[in-house]
């Protein structure tokens, strides 16, 4: 499959501040690729390097096999871009704004533009400064979509949109992908990545920590299991099963976490006379938190402990 986006050891530093470090990424044609990470992880920096808005400190970025800084206009001709934060011309109406961005691309299909305006339920006659945050976002989305780009680079695209419009947006994305377009969607909202993306990359502190299919990331995660027994729960039997951790007991209920295959836990439960069994497949959010949360919570706990100690000392 052809890679639409490819980066090789892509690094961007802002003086002494970290941007992204050694990012290797490939996004194939026709896929919806989620770029997931907490605020400040380097998502926007990566997109801005791909667009040649900023230049890499080292490494290379290719879009449509064109190096990003070699011929950015050739890349921009084929993409649609929605920045995470943007402002447009206060005095222009929504329609004039869209007309201008259409003209910068040599004109767009007016019928499709009108269709997009209608589907997003946007009133194009109002001046940009009069729009609410959500309506401004709709103008940006139409501007990014109206020329039917081959690649959509969307930075936090659902910011400010109500759930109904979000639904419309994801439907439009699917239609674009069906027509052969590729989508690179940056977000920190896990549920939207989970529901719309084929593959996801997780970036943290400027480095890619994982790139995989959404399903695979789910499999990677733990299972949360609850077991109910009539008598005293046989805790020790479960604690010795490989992959089991975080075992807690509450009356007749055992809660535990299973990493890897769940079959040994199921077999043990059946053997020990379980009366109720509940296993929950983790959401991507839980996967994400499992990936990131541990260090964060450890750090938080350490800080809280230190603060508590200091308080006692006083």
Q: Using CB under 8 A, list all residues that contact other proteins.
A: 48, 51, 53-55, 72-74, 76-77, 79-81, 83, 85-89, 91-92, 96-97, 99-101, 103-106, 140, 143-144, 153
Tell me the DSSP string of 234-263: -HHHHHTSTTEEEEEEETTEEEEEE-S--H
Contact criterion met (CB below 8 Å) for 145 and 173: no
Dig out the tokens for 102 from the structure: 């259409």
In the chain, beta strands by DSSP E:
3-14, 17-28, 32-36, 58-63, 66-67, 79-82, 151-155, 182-187, 199-204, 207-213, 223-228, 244-250, 253-258, 276-280
Q: How many other CB atoms are found less than 10 A from the CB of residue 77? A: 14
- Buried/exposed 215-234: b ≥16 CB within 10 Å, e otherwise: eebbeebbbbbebebeeebb
What's the closest the beta carbon of residue 149 comes to other proteins, in angstroms? 10
Smaller CB separation from other proteins, 25 or 143: 143
Smaller CB separation from other proteins, 24 or 90: 90
Smaller CB separation from other proteins, 19 or 233: 19
Smaller CB separation from other proteins, 18 or 76: 76
Residue 227's SS3 state is strand
What's the closest the beta carbon of residue 54 comes to other proteins, in angstroms? 4
C-alpha span between 178 and 193 (Å, rounded): 18
What's the closest the beta carbon of residue 52 comes to other proteins, in angstroms? 8
Smaller CB separation from other proteins, 104 or 270: 104
What's the closest the beta carbon of residue 79 comes to other proteins, in angstroms? 7
What's the closest the beta carbon of residue 73 comes to other proteins, in angstroms? 5
Smaller CB separation from other proteins, 65 or 215: 65
Contact criterion met (CB below 8 Å) for 75 and 64: yes
What's the closest the beta carbon of residue 106 comes to other proteins, in angstroms? 8
Residue 188's SS3 state is coil
Dig out the tokens for 218 from the structure: 């789910």
C-alpha span between 182 and 16 (Å, rounded): 34
Smaller CB separation from other proteins, 129 or 213: 129
What's the closest the beta carbon of residue 175 comes to other proteins, in angstroms? 21
């Amino acid at each position: 499959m052809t890679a639409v986006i490819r980066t090789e050891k892509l690094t961007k530093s802002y003086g002494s501040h970290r941007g992204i470090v050694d990012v290797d990424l490939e996004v194939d044609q026709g896929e919806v690729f989620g770029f997931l990470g907490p605020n400040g992880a380097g998502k926007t920096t990566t997109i801005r390097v791909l667009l040649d808005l900023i230049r890499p400190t080292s490494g290379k970025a290719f879009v449509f096999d064109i190096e990003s800084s070699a011929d950015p206009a050739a890349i921009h001709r084929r993409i649609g871009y929605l920045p995470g934060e943007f402002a447009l011309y206060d005095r222009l109406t929504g329609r004039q704004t869209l007309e201008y961005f259409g003209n910068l691309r040599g004109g767009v299909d007016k019928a499709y533009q009108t269709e997009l305006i209608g589907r997003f339920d946007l009133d194009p006659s109002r001046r940009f400064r009069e729009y609410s945050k959500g309506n401004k976002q709709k103008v940006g989305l139409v501007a990014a979509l109206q020329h039917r780009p081959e690649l959509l680079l969307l930075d936090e695209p659902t910011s400010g949109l109500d759930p109904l419009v979000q639904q419309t947006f994801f439907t439009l994305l699917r239609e674009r992908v069906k027509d052969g377009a590729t989508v690179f969607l940056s977000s920190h909202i896990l549920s939207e990545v989970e529901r719309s993306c084929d593959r996801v990359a997780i970036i943290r502190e400027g480095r890619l920590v994982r790139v995989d299919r959404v399903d695979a990331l789910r499999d990677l995660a733990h299972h949360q299991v609850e077991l109910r027994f009539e008598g005293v729960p046989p805790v020790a039997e479960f604690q010795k099963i490989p992959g089991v951790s975080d075992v807690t007991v509450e009356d007749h209920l055992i809660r535990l976490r299973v990493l890897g295959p769940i079959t040994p836990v199921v077999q043990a439960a059946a053997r020990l006379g379980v009366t109720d069994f509940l296993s929950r497949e983790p959401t991507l959010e839980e996967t994400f938190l499992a990936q990131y949360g541990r260090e964060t919570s450890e750090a938080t706990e350490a800080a809280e402990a230190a603060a508590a100690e200091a308080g006692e000392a006083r």
